[in-house]
Amino acid sequence: MNPESESEFADRREGPRLDIRLPVRLEHGDGWTRDVSSSGIYFETTEPLTEGAAIRFSVVLEHVFPAPLRLECEGQIVRVERREGKLGVAAALNSYRLIPQEQHPELRTEQPDLPAGSPCNTCEKEKGVQT
């Protein structure tokens, strides 16, 4: 992406982006967020997705008190780009809702493996947790 197109995308954003790494559950796979805002999300996955398609997914908010939450989202894929063997996906959010995990025990909570060198892997290793 060249600097001109980067600023073009920044101009279309409706709200500030939060750089955060959270697990994403897709209908047929998993991924990890790169950034999130109130109007959109950017995540990486190995699942084949198509620009312009509708999408349903959830984001697991594990470290929320008093219990984990699941953010269920529906939206539209606005951009798909190849990124180091994965797909980077930008989606505009049409709707979302927070669901307490305890209301849906059937929802899986295991997380996909983090890419090597990710900030979350580094934190876990510092705590002495095996990843």
Domain residue spans of the chain: 14-126
Classified as helix, coil or strand, 102 is helix
Residue 131 has a pLDDT of 37
Residue 120: per-residue pLDDT:
47
Q: Which SS3 state, helix, strand or coil, does residue 43 take?
A: strand
To which H or E segment does residue 109 belong? Answer: none
Provide the CATH topology of domain 14-126.
Thrombin, subunit H (2.40.10)
* pLDDT for the residue numbered 113: 55
More confident residue, 62 or 95: 95
Query: Whole-angstrom Cα distance, residue 123 to residue 109?
Result: 19
Per-residue model confidence as pLDDT tens digits over 76-128: 999 999 988 899 999 999 999 999 877 655 544 454 555 555 544 434 444 44
Q: Tell me the mean pLDDT in the region 14-42.
A: 92
